[in-house]
A and B are shown apart, each in its own frame.
Chain A
Amino acid sequence: MVENSLFRPLQTALVLILALIAVALCASIAPPALQRTVIEALIKLTVVVGLFIFVGQSGVFSFGHVAFMAIGGYMSAILTLAPARKATLLDLPGAIEALQLPWPLALVAVIVAVGVLATVVGWPFCRLRGIALPMATFALLIITYVVASNWQQVTGGRQALVGLPRYVGLWTAFGGAALAILVAAGYAMTRHALMLRCSRESEVAAAATGIDVERERLIAFVLSAMVVAAGGVLFSHFIGTITASTFYLDLTFVTLTMLVVGGMRSLTGACAGVALVSLVSELLRSVERGVAIGDVTIAAPPGLQEIVLAALLLAILVLRPAGLLGDAEIGWPSFRRAAPATATRQQG
């Protein structure tokens, strides 16, 4: 029984993926508008699960992961756009302008490149203590945004890059989310994740237990940046255009809210948070558009969505600071659990 529990994260992942399959199947017969909402939620799930890899196990907040979405999205755009379009929109070196990769290759290249970049950036970051590390990630977000919205030659500046191959449909988005969940669960089973969780509980005790907190943080930071970047790639190719302002404060707020509401220490919680926040957002969006009652159409004031989400976040922070699920994870229904528990108690 004890041996078994090392594989619990994998069980959780499989149950979650089964749930996603159910959602995707329902969405596949839903009207296009609803389907788009589900696809967007699945992509956000990829991002939030990526965020969970670092934040959930380290207990350190990151306000900067959306920057990796932006970096991933722009890299993939540059690698997949047609050379002619790049020539009109951007001013790239010849070789890069001529380069056009098939999207799967571009995706892999982006993930690897972001892994390298996150190592370089994360190295000094993970040496920081206390609030300094979250603040540094916030600075990363701002820098990335400013660079992306001003580097005319490479990102097109404030202008949107258009004409990205739109290869992301329901099942691609599902695949991304499922893979992200598997990566997160696989990581959670490693000794590195255990050591990082120890440092979350007490940095001092972790150091006294032989744990190199900086190194474990860096490992998780890099892995999570790579998953988040994949989410950014999927997002850009789902929309078909990319602008710097997409990957800024709003998205940071929404993804962090999703993680915190569901329970940032739990993979199941991360998924539940995405589901709940997406659902609430979608309802509010339709209210904002207006609800017809008889002859009158009542439309809520714009911005209602943000306010309600913020209120939801506040309510959770006050009433259930550990999130809806805390650190609980979903698993197989277990019939045997009760029996061995009493058996071990008798031994002790």
Chain B
Amino acid sequence: MMIQPDSGGADASAASLEVDGVVVDFQGLRAIEDVSLTLRPGEILGLIGPNGAGKTTLINVLTGFQAVTQGSVRLGGVDIAGWKPHERSRRGLVRTFQSVLPFAGLTALENVEAGGVAIGLVRGEARAEAVRILSEMGLAHAANRKAGTLPFGEERRVGIARAIAMRPRFLLMDEPAAGLNDAECRDLQTIVRGICVSLSCGVLFIEHRMSMVFELCHRIQVLQLGRTLALGPTDAIRADPKVRKAYLGEDEVSPC
């Protein structure tokens, strides 16, 4: 059920999320050095790289939590440098967090409802939508429990449900599978494919487990020390000797 994304064309690029020549400096440390990235609607782009490669920083740049030293971020051709985080997410540039950051003291239902309310739905609508999303994700039983009390895997799914409720055009997922068991990983893959198809949403997928990235992503971009090491279709990256040497090592595939 792998859906191939729109392949290029002026039309597709106009609706894309583009990062162009971005540099990010933290006092003295250059975390990102001239990285460009394009995420098209309907595609799943894997972003991989060792710890400290700059993956999270790049998401922070895209979502407005981190200012760039140089370079630009464009959404559908429009430079969004001046947009604050809440303006970006409201307009469909939505992220999840490596550390989930649920609204811990609120119920799972309220967490997801908040996403709908923030994009302008009235509470009744947002709540109905939240109920639907939660039950689709197998979280109906957790709806009235506080998000902070949920088991880790469910908490992660609440984080994703909250993002889905915002009807993202682009969803940036920062290690959504970290800490999940095998069954939960498979569920996650189904969910991500579902989002990608049903919302024709572009997904940026950060993950360390190669097997999952290879199965799920249409294209893969490899970061290393803040630079793009390689970029291409999944099969090409999988075969790229440079990538194998620098990042994957010899026995790259760990079971998911």
The yes or no verdict on A and B being binding partners is yes
Closest residue of chain B to A344, judged by CB?
Answer: B140
Question: Is B124 in contact with A3, judged by CB distance below 8 angstroms?
Answer: yes
Contacts of A204 in B (CB 8 A): 65, 97, 101
A209 to B94, CA, bound (A): 7
B223 at the interface (CB under 8 A from A): no
Closest residue of chain B to A345, judged by CB?
Answer: B141
B95 at the interface (CB under 8 A from A): yes
Number of interface residues of A (CB under 8 A): 30
Contacts of A93 in B (CB 8 A): none
Q: Which of A189, A202, A211 contacts B86 (CB 8 A)?
A: A211
Question: Is B117 in contact with A201, judged by CB distance below 8 angstroms?
Answer: no
Q: Which of A198, A202, A211, A348 contacts B141 (CB 8 A)?
A: A348
A190 at the interface (CB under 8 A from B): yes
Q: Which of A6, A211, A347 contacts B114 (CB 8 A)?
A: A211
Contacts of B90 in A (CB 8 A): 210
Question: Is B140 in contact with A347, judged by CB distance below 8 angstroms?
Answer: yes
Number of interface residues of B (CB under 8 A): 43
B106 at the interface (CB under 8 A from A): yes
B118 at the interface (CB under 8 A from A): yes
Nearest CB in chain B: distance from A216 CB, A: 10
CB-CB contacts below 8 Å: A331-348 with B: 341, 344-345, 347-348
Question: Is B127 in contact with A3, judged by CB distance below 8 angstroms?
Answer: yes
Tell which of B89, B95, B121 has the most Cβ of chain A within 10 Å. B89
Closest residue of chain A to B84, judged by CB?
Answer: A207
Contacts of A344 in B (CB 8 A): 140-141, 143
Contacts of B102 in A (CB 8 A): 201-202, 205
Question: Is A201 in contact with B103, judged by CB distance below 8 angstroms?
Answer: yes
A residues at B contact (CB < 8 Å): 2-3, 6, 189-191, 194-195, 197-198, 200-202, 204-213, 265, 327, 341, 344-345, 347-348
Q: Could you show 23 A-B contacts with beta carbons less than 8 Å apart?
A: A2-B131, A2-B143, A6-B123, A6-B124, A197-B106, A197-B110, A198-B111, A200-B105, A201-B106, A202-B104, A208-B94, A208-B95, A208-B101, A209-B89, A210-B89, A210-B90, A210-B119, A212-B86, A327-B105, A344-B140, A347-B140, A348-B135, A348-B140
